[in-house]
Amino acid sequence: MDDGTLVERAVATRDVAAFSALARLHQSKVRGLLLRLTRGDHAAADDLAQETFLEAWRGIGNFRGESAFATWLYRIAYSRFLMQARKRKPDEQLGDWDVPMASGESGSHARIDLERAMAKLTAAESAALTLSFALGLSNSEAAEAMDIPLGTLKSHVLRGREKLKAILGEPS
Amino acid sequence: MNDMELDALLNAPLPERDAGDFSVLLMERVTQHEARPARILSWISAGVMVAVFAAACLFGASAIGHVDPHMNDMLIPGTLILLSLLLSYVVSEAARA
């Protein structure tokens, strides 16, 4: 069953089973985005992902289908992350990506290097790159997910790419 | 690193995460969330019932002349009614939060 049908069922009859199917379809990407934003903190990323889906369930009646369901979820996830980041005390800042990848998580050296480099970007740059590349959103969809103008999204992508090239180009 | 190499790295899909425990926990939370209004309603109903009962006792006692509105007899039922209404208010505020 596709997103549209499941969303329709979840909205029309508050069908928990339909929402559960939607959550199963999208959980991996939402958790992946949040894992990057929290710089490899699996527990924090999963807590935020739980909050994201719970908020989506509460507000699913407001989903008008003007964007893809996934884009709507990423928007909630990113705003949840920002809200939590604002609440964080200065001594609780996220560290470097130092959590080893679980076995089976395609832990090639290049991938680990990329995650460590991503951790040096700002949250906005990291989110812009992840949404536009790994999650395959168009620029306008990514801008919508981050609730920023298209021009700002492009700036984040450009700046993030330049920083990554510089970091990954450094001799280790 | 050139642009093509960077694009290839960035375009690589994020690692697939198993839905298992995550989905189970999420559905538990969704179910709890769905049960919340009924739980809150039962608390409010209980509060209102106590208030009505206390008011009925007060009315009955005053009707047979056992309660003098100027005496301390009013204190206990009055406090009960106030507490019940306060409880209902607190619970309904919690529901809105």
Give the residue among A163, A162, A130, A164 at the shortest CA–CA distance from A146.
A130
Instruction: Considering only the beta carbons, identify the residue of A20, A35, A114 that sits closest to B9.
Output: A114
Shortest Cα distance, chain A CAs vs residue B12, angstroms: 6
d(CA A78, CA A56): 13
Query: Residue B10: pLDDT band by 50, 70, 90 thresholds?
Result: very high
User: Residue A154 and residue A73: Cα distance in Å, rounded?
Assistant: 21
A27 SS3 class: helix
The percentage of chain B sitting over the pLDDT mark of 90, rounded to a whole number, equals: 16
Q: Given a cut of 70, is residue A85 above it in pLDDT?
A: yes
Min CA distance, B48 vs chain A (Å)? 28
Its ipTM equals 0.80
Residue of A nearest to B5 (CA): A165
- In one-letter notation, the amino acid at residue A134 is A
Nearest to A46 among B22, B31, B34 (CB): B22
| Residue A88 pLDDT > 90 | no
Which residue does chain B place closest to A133, by CA atoms? B11
Q: How would you label A119-134 residue by residue, b for 16+ Cβ within 10 Å and e otherwise?
A: bebebbbbbbbbbbbb
Q: Return the structure tokens found at A166.
A: 């510089």
Least confident span in A135-144, B17-26, B52-61: B52-61
Nearest CA to A6 out of A48, A63, A47, A51 is that of: A63
Q: Return the DSSP state at A132.
A: I
Q: Do the Cβ atoms of B9 and A23 come within 8 Å?
A: no
The pLDDT of residue A103 is: 46
Q: Which residues contact A87 (CB under 8 A, 6 or more apart)?
A: none
Q: Assign 3-state DSSP to chain B and report helix, strand, coil percentages, each to 5.
A: 80, 0, 20
Say whether A105 and B15 touch across the interface (CB within 8 A): yes
- Biggest CA-to-CA distance, chain B: 96
Q: What's the gap in Å between the CA of B94 and the closest CA on chain A?
A: 16
A109-118 helix and A150-169 helix, angle to the nearest 10 degrees: 130
Residues of A in Cβ contact (< 8 Å) with B22: 27, 31, 46, 49-50
Q: Using one digit for the tens of pLDDT, what is the confidence trace for A137-169?
A: 999 999 999 999 999 999 999 999 999 999 988
